[in-house]
Structure 1
Amino acid sequence: MAINKSNRHKALHVSYTAGTGGGKAVAVQWAGMMPKSPCLSIFDPYGDYVYKKGSIDNTGFANKRVYHYSTKATFAKAFASAWASKKPFRIAYKPAEPSREEMLWFCKLMWLASDGQRRLDVIIEELAKWCDSTGKEQSAFGECLTGGRKFGLVMHCIFQRSTEVPKTILSMTPYKIVGIQETLADAERMARECGIPVNDILALDPLTYIKKNPKMGDIERLDLRHIYPDA
């Protein structure tokens, strides 16, 4: 199970929310919240980070190869080997039939592996699809959010609509990166979370974001349109 608890670790969990075409995956790669050489584990049900050799587009994770595995056995073996090496890695679990149960199994493995002496970055893609309510998340995923900081876990939660995810996610992610929103309700919720006028969010373009830092009122503007200049 999780070992080497330390309250000295900073709270670094991040939520990324943007509508279709808003650039959530771009933000998680290029918004500066990920170490340059991470120990990175991804729940990637739809292959958003599959590496395509020779592609002119940005593929993998920040143009680095991500190794994908489609069964629990092969992923667990690959993750255990990568984590034991104490070297940077980028691996992903891409189950043949994605489900909440598969996501929770993945999170339980991350929790069991977490070591307060090392940082482990964990991405959960399409999070709203794996949530069964908008109330408190009481599960292995919820445990990674609420207790993971003390054990070196940094959770990166990615979703389209904030109104479809549990309140635990927004309350436990001190960093929030907000792109274009699909509905007024989502824009209003994230405006409240960030403490800004809703019009600031409604004015966003694809690949532009508002970044809410932990300190109240600490807001940044991010523009990642240079990553995909033809978008």
Structure 2
Amino acid sequence: MKSKSQSLKLPNPVNSNPSHDAEHVIYVAGTGGGKTSAVKYLGLVPKTSQAVFFDPYRNYAGAKFQGQMCHGTSSKAAFVKALLAARKRGKSFKLAYIPQDGATNHELEFFSAVVWSMGNGRSSKLYVVIEELASCVETTGKLKGKAGELLRGGRQYGLVIHSIFQRGQEVPKTVTEQSSTWWIGAVNSMSDAKWLADKKGLNINDIAALTSAKVNKQKIGKPIAEYLLVRDGIGNVESKSLNCHSGLRC
């Protein structure tokens, strides 16, 4: 039996535009490290953007995202209809898909296929936030299917992918190699810190010294997440912190 995503017969994206810059972002940190708060408050997903969320744990649906309500649905048909209508209107929106089966490969593939079909290199960019990526994938090699296509080919169709996970070793290399900006919070182990340091040419001690929002809430009573923001270019690293409750940067 064909899956629902296969039977939708979705179109391909249109108007390839290679002039778009590579802007994919990853957020990596252990539990309580502030990943979702970074998505919400840092502005890497612009306030006035068109944005769509793969939201298995309802981190966005039913709440405001930078002042704009993020509507959510678990219905595949309703999600396709709402996203298509929102893209046609051409205005800012925030829409979340809440997968009924949770963070699984087939749910991510459905979401990715729908988003891929909405790409348009001459229209407004579509920011695509994927929570719990590592739970959905079944390989650390090449990411296949429409999810992989979003990372490899989405740029030229105005699709900007933001991927969120706890350990870089658990996600396909397609995700890390295609993402030009890395938000790195406190990780769970020295092996995680070493992997990140090796990948981005960082000092392992700088990563190991980061304190999570969870730990700081216990220590100082405030959920302050310390992080490194690493962009393309040698030495292009910012060391900052974020109040995960207020959204204020320190």
TM-score w.r.t. the length of structure 2 is: 0.85
Residues 154-185 of structure 1: per-residue CA shift (max 9 Å, x gap):
00000011111111111000100000001222
Identity of aligned residues (%): 37
Q: Which residue of structure 1 lines up, in the alignment, with residue 5 of structure 2?
A: none
SS in 1 for 2:77: helix
Larger radius of gyration: 2
The total of aligned residue pairs comes to 222
Among 83, 86, 94, which residue is 2:90 paired with? 86
SS in 1 for 2:79: helix
Bigger mean CA offset, 65-74 vs 218-227:
218-227
Where in structure 2 are there 5+ consecutive unaligned residues? Answer: 1-11, 213-224
Give the aligned residue type for 1:107.
Answer: S
1:195 Cα deviation (Å)? Answer: 1.1
Where in structure 1 are there 5+ consecutive unaligned residues? Answer: 52-58
Per the alignment, do residues 228 and 165 of structure 1 end up closer, same or farther by CA in structure 2, a change over 3 Å counting? same
Cα distance in 2 for partners of 1:198, 1:92 equals 36
Residues 9-52 of structure 1: per-residue CA shift (max 9 Å, x gap):
0000000001100000011122231112110000001101133x
Give the aligned residue type for 1:3.
Answer: V
Per the alignment, do residues 101 and 226 of structure 1 end up closer, same or farther by CA in structure 2, a change over 3 Å counting? closer
Q: Which residue of structure 1 lines up, in the alignment, with residue 228 of structure 2?
A: 210
Among 7, 16, 31, which residue is 1:20 paired with? 31
Q: Which residue of structure 1 lines up, in the alignment, with residue 54 of structure 2?
A: 43
1:225 Cα deviation (Å)? Answer: 2.1
Among 75, 79, 85, which residue is 1:75 paired with? 79
Tell me whether 1:114 sits opposite 2:119 in the alignment: yes
Higher relative contact order (CA 8 A, sep 6+): 1
Cα distance in 2 for partners of 1:68, 1:182 equals 31
Cα distance in 1 for partners of 2:234, 2:19 equals 21
Cα distance in 1 for partners of 2:138, 2:237 equals 31
Residues 100-131 of structure 1: per-residue CA shift (max 9 Å, x gap):
10111111111111000120000000000001
Q: Which residue of structure 2 lines up, in the alignment, with residue 101 of structure 1?
A: 106
Residues 77-115 of structure 1: per-residue CA shift (max 9 Å, x gap):
111111111010000000221221011111111111100
Give the aligned residue type for 2:206.
Answer: D
Q: Does the CA-based 8 Å contact 2:61-2:95 persist in structure 1?
A: no
Give the aligned residue type for 1:24.
Answer: K
TM-score w.r.t. the length of structure 1 is: 0.92
Q: Which residue of structure 2 lines up, in the alignment, with residue 133 of structure 1?
A: 139
Cα distance in 2 for partners of 1:214, 1:195 equals 11
Tell me whether 1:223 sits opposite 2:241 in the alignment: yes
- Structure 1 runs of 4+ aligned residues shifted over 3 Å read 226-229
